[in-house]
Amino acid sequence: MELLFAPTVGFQAFWIWLAIGGVILGIEALVGTQWLLWPATGAGIVAVLTLTGLPVNLLVQIVIFCVLTTAMTLLSRKFMKPVEVVVDINDPNGRLIGKEALVIEAFDDRDGSLSTGRVIYEGVEWPAVYERGGATRPILPAEKVEILKVAEGKLIVKPA
């Protein structure tokens, strides 16, 4: 129990924390999630803290590491931009988004919020889904619709 509360400072603690940070960083390089960067950074900061000569025992070092890791993880979630989804230029379905199609079969209303019908885009017939979301106007044949996304082989559309 004395070892836990004894001051652990200097080069020995520095190398231990630096090794812990290096191992965590190595795991991050293998996994690639970017979430292990914060514990690795916390270990590096604690390693530098041990070189200051302050009488910081092992328990305090572990608490500082945990607080730094938690704080940096929470701040990164708030300030880091989410990864943008890039449409693959080789994906033919991705190229349909934002285009206009022609309704060839009226959308039938099954449950009040979701309607199904058929549209044609560049000579190809597609089953389509119209999520009304409170709209009451039906989409009739020969009307144009805008393609919002492709899901499960169906086009999700809205009136153009």
How would residue 33 be classed by pLDDT, with cut points 50, 70 and 90? confident
Stretch among 12-16, 37-41, 86-90, 125-129 having the lowest mean pLDDT: 86-90
Span 63-85, average pLDDT: 86
Confidence of residue 59 (pLDDT cuts 50, 70, 90): very high
- Mean per-residue pLDDT of the chain: 84
Angle, helices 11-31 vs 58-79, to 10°: value is: 30
Residues 16 and 65 in one domain: yes
Per DSSP, the three-state class of 56 is coil
Q: Could you list the residue range(s) of the whole structural domain that residue 145 is in?
A: 94-159
The separation between the first and the last C-alpha atoms of the chain, rounded to the nearest angstrom, is 73
Structure tokens at 143: 């009307």
More confident residue, 44 or 56: 44
What confidence score (pLDDT) does residue 84 get? 66
CATH of the domain at 136: 2.40.50.140
- Residue 55 inside a domain? The answer is yes
Mean pLDDT within 108-126: 80
Of 79, 108, 128, the domain-final residue: 79
Strand partners, 154: 151
Both 12 and 67 in one domain: the answer is yes
SS3 147: strand
* Predicted confidence (pLDDT) at residue 6 exceeds the cutoff of 60: no
Residue 127 has pLDDT above 70, yes or no: yes
Question: Between these two residues, 60 and 160, which has the higher pLDDT value?
Answer: 60
Q: What is the mean pLDDT of residues 99-108?
A: 88
d(CA 82, CA 91): 22
Residue 87 pLDDT: 62
Angle at 89 between CA 87 and CA 91, to 5 degrees: 80
Tell me the C-alpha distance between 99 and 96, whole Å: 6
